[in-house]
């Protein structure tokens, strides 16, 4: 352009020796620049791409960690593959021949090119039909499920591929292989979790109605509707009742866990007295206690008021008490202490049972987690109780803390925000004289009636 302008308009100026010298100097400088422009050396190509490669590294990191599923991952990977080598078309083909991502290429051509990956683990430079030069790279993806491939094709206006492009794509392909395998594992785990939730839902619903019938007949038997039972019959009835309580608790746990998972758990927000809930929980678990267990409830004279769903708080305390009984198979004292301090209400359940090793504490609240302990190998359970209890506590803006030592017993504390006292004086509780007593010590498994304050 400059030469043209000068030749047209330069006229006599071009005759000057200085201008001639200037032209020669420009020609000497321009020639290597033109050469570098069309065929830049590797170090320069790398320098130009530095910013792009930094972005790519970040993108690969996100790709591997945050892609929700394999098709999304493959699509993102394909977009970056195109940018990485300035290609026109790209395809990512799964081990079974399924196309995971496709851009600027027909599915048929992608599959045909991918077939070249079957032979071995090395990338290949190929010429597609109708092309005189090598315009395609086939990168094998050695996936866990078999050999997949990433195929990259250059267009008529994009640069041809060389060893530099091949080596860059090779590293990229290794990342994609790992990410696709990881995503498959994540997908399988998600499917497994879904199946577990579906099973929980189904099993708990199916068990609920026969259990209802059993509960009904048991209370009729107890009330003597079918005639008075003999002493041996009464003993059998007690065993049946205890086993039914276990099943009722289990089904309630399964139902609530299933509801929690699919977001169907709606909590009520009633004003309630934790002392009453703890008292009811003690009654629920009483049939589970052995003759060697001594169950006691300590509660202050004043109401411990919280806002919450009475059924769910009952579930939490019942779970903690049930565990305290189950995991102290040799019997002993099981204490339930209701308290209020510093805007916090608490229910603490203490047992002197098998205890929990320090390294097991972090796993305690995981769903379906059951700890290994030879002393409790015969104790049944699902590993749902503590998971559910803590989730329920947290939905009430509360929590559950645990302190435990192997062989020395455990102490689980449910904390909930204390409700602010209402202005008008609360109606006195008349139904339960024990609740008004300064301290309560109630419910031993053998006791026919609750003992009076200590």
- The first and second tokens of residue 38, run together, are 């069309």
Which of these ranges, 188-196, 270-278, 293-301, 316-324, lies near ligand ADP under the rule CB under 6 A?
Answer: 316-324
Q: In the numeric block, which tokens belong to residue 364?
A: 């305690």
CB 99 within 8 A of CB 109: no
CB of 91 to ligand ADP, least distance (A): 48
Tell me the pairing of strands 124-126 and 136-143. Answer: antiparallel
List phi, psi (to 5°) of 235.
-65, -45
For ligand ADP, the closer CB: 276 or 391: 391
Q: Contacts with ligand ADP in 339-358 (CB under 6 A)?
A: 351, 353-356
Q: Which of 382, 395, 429, 450 binds ligand ADP (CB under 6 A)?
A: 382
Residue 263 sits at φ, ψ, to 5 deg, of 70, 25
Q: Give the torsion sign (CA, 130, 135, 139, 145).
A: negative
By CB under 6 A, residue 381 contacts ligand ADP: yes
Taking the complex as a whole, the smallest distance from the CB of residue 354 to ligand ADP amounts, in Å, to 5
Q: Minimum distance from CB of 298 to ligand ADP (Å)?
A: 18
**Residue 391 in the binding site for ligand ADP (CB under 6 A):** no
- Angle of the 310-326 helix axis to the 385-395 helix axis, nearest 10: 150
Per rule CB under 6 A, is residue 148 in the interface with ligand ADP?
no
| Nearer to ligand ADP among residue 308 and residue 353 (C-beta) | 353
- CA-nearest of 100, 52, 45, 46 to 72 is 100
Phi first, then psi: what are they for 3, rounded to 5°? -60, -45
Alpha helices in 366-415 (DSSP H): 385-395
Which of 83, 208, 370, 375 binds ligand ADP (CB under 6 A)? It is 370
Chain residue at closest Cβ approach to ligand ADP: 381
DSSP-assigned letter for residue 290: -
Considering CB under 6 A, how many residues would be counted as binding ligand ADP? 21
Tokens describing residue 6 = 């000068």
Q: Does 369 bind ligand ADP (CB under 6 A)?
A: yes
Burial profile 353-390: b = 16 or more Cβ within 10 angstroms, e = fewer: bbbbeeeeeeebbebeebeebeebeeeebbebbbbbbb
Binding mask 253-282 for ligand ADP (x = CB under 6 A): ------------------------------
Least distance to ligand ADP from the beta carbon of 348, Å? 12
Least Å from the CB of residue 52 to ligand ADP: 51
Q: Does 386 bind ligand ADP (CB under 6 A)?
A: yes
Question: Which range, of 64-72, 104-112, 191-199, 380-388, touches ligand ADP by CB under 6 A?
Answer: 380-388
Which residues touch 343 (CB under 8 Å, ≥6 apart)?
417, 418
Is residue 364 part of the contact set for ligand ADP (CB under 6 A)?
A: yes
Q: By CB under 6 A, is residue 246 in contact with ligand ADP?
A: no
**Tokens of residue 253, six digits:** 């746990």
Residues that bind ligand ADP (CB under 6 A): 319, 323-324, 327, 351, 353-356, 364, 369-371, 381-387, 410
């Amino acid at each position: 352009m400059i030469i043209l302008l000068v030749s047209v308009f330069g006229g006599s100026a071009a005759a000057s020796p200085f201008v001639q010298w200037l032209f020669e100097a420009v020609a000497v400088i321009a020639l290597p620049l033109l050469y570098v422009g069309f065929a830049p050396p590797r170090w320069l190509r790398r320098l130009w791409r530095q910013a792009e490669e930094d972005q790519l590294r970040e993108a690969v990191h996100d790709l591997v960690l945050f892609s929700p599923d394999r098709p999304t991952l493959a699509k993102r990977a394909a977009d970056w593959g195109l940018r990485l080598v300035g290609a026109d078309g790209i395809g990512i083909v799964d081990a079974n021949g399924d196309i995971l991502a496709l851009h600027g290429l027909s599915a048929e051509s992608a599959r045909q090119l991918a077939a070249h990956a079957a032979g071995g683990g090395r990338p290949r430079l190929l010429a597609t039909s109708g092309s005189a030069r090598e315009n395609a790279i086939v990168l094998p993806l050695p996936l866990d499920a078999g050999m997949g491939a990433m195929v990259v094709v250059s267009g008529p206006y994009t640069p041809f591929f060389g060893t530099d492009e091949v080596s860059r794509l090779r590293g990229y392909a290794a990342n994609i292989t790992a990410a696709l395998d990881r995503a498959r594992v994540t997908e399988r785990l998600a499917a497994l979790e879904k199946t577990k939730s579906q099973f929980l839902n189904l099993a708990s619903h199916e068990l609920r109605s026969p259990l209802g019938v059993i509960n009904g007949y048991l209370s009729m038997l107890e009330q003597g509707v079918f005639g008075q039972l003999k002493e041996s019959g009464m003993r059998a009835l007690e065993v049946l009742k205890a086993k039914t309580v276990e099943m009722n608790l289990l089904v309630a746990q399964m139902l609530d866990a299933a509801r929690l998972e699919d977001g169907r758990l709606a909590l009520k927000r009633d004003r309630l007295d934790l002392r009453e809930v703890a008292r009811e929980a003690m009654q629920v678990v009483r049939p589970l206690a052995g003759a060697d267990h001594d169950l006691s409830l300590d509660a202050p004279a004043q109401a411990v008021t919280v806002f919450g769903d009475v059924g769910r708080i009952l579930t939490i305390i019942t779970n903690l008490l049930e565990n305290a009984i189950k995991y102290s198979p040799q019997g002993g004292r099981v204490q339930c202490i209701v308290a209020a301090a510093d805007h916090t209400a608490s229910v603490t359940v203490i047992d002197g049972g098998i205890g929990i090793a320090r390294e097991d504490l972090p796993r305690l609240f995981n769903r379906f987690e059951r700890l290994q302990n030879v002393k409790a190998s015969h104790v049944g359970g699902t590993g749902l109780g503590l998971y559910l209890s803590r989730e329920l506590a947290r939905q009430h803006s509360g929590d559950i803390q645990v302190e435990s030592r192997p062989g020395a017993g455990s102490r689980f504390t449910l904390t909930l925000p204390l409700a602010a006292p209402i202005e008008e004086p609360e109606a006195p509780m008349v139904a339960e004289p024990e609740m008004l007593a300064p301290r309560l010590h109630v419910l031993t498994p053998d006791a026919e009636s609750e003992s009076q304050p200590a």
